[in-house]
Structure 1
Amino acid sequence: MQANRRRDTKPELILRSALHRAGYRYRCDLRLDLEGGRVRPDIVFTRRRIAILVDGCFWHCCPIHGSRPSVNEDYWSPKLLRNVERDRRNDSLLESAGWTVIRIWEHVPVADALERVRLVLNAED
């Protein structure tokens, strides 16, 4: 698991590149110290208080593409469940601090993800 990246994953880089080409400027992997805990969204629009998290299908138990581990299930099942619980806790922390949370699955086409972010950014204006 040491080789698994926390930041700069392929889906995240693709989305960041599309956002940059569209003229948006953002912060990457910014640690937010909130009341109740810390959160590290993948992409952050600080002034607009928008946090974007790009979730991998396996690691965050995607309802469409998430797969159940077949080897060492006693380790992986609780680990993946803790990831999902942490995601919900982080969403709650961000929202209670006044942030807008956008979660994007890795399988979502980049055009769709970019449009979703654009809609939220335009709604904030």
Structure 2
Amino acid sequence: MAHCNTILSQILRFVPRHEFESLANRHHTGRAFRTATRWSQFVTMAMAQLSGRISLRDIVGNVSTQAHRLYHLGSAKLTRSNLARMNESKPYSLYEALFGKLLHRCQYLAPGHQFRFKNK
């Protein structure tokens, strides 16, 4: 069977897995979950953001329909309760650091561009 990359996998290439894992280890607090990983949370939330999902039930339902593609992204399907616990208890500082790295990478690739972000 032929494998073709999804658009999500192409977007996730901007976030090298080893960099993400080192940031996750640096910003880790509390106990680790048995089956859930920060990468799975990141992939799930990226899918939710890109597809415009608004509730946990909607997010988990959407990810469940794409479960056969998660393996190729290095992710696993999360339950609604695990996703809720992870979003509630894990610090957002990991994603701030990740955004900083991505912004720096974009500024390096396009040095003449003035990246501006509007606060809503």
Report the structure, 1 or 2, having the larger strand content. 1
Name the TM-score, length of structure 2 as normaliser.
0.33
Higher RCO, 1 vs 2 (CA within 8 Å, ≥6 residues apart):
2
Report the structure, 1 or 2, having the larger helix content. 2
Name the TM-score, length of structure 1 as normaliser.
0.32
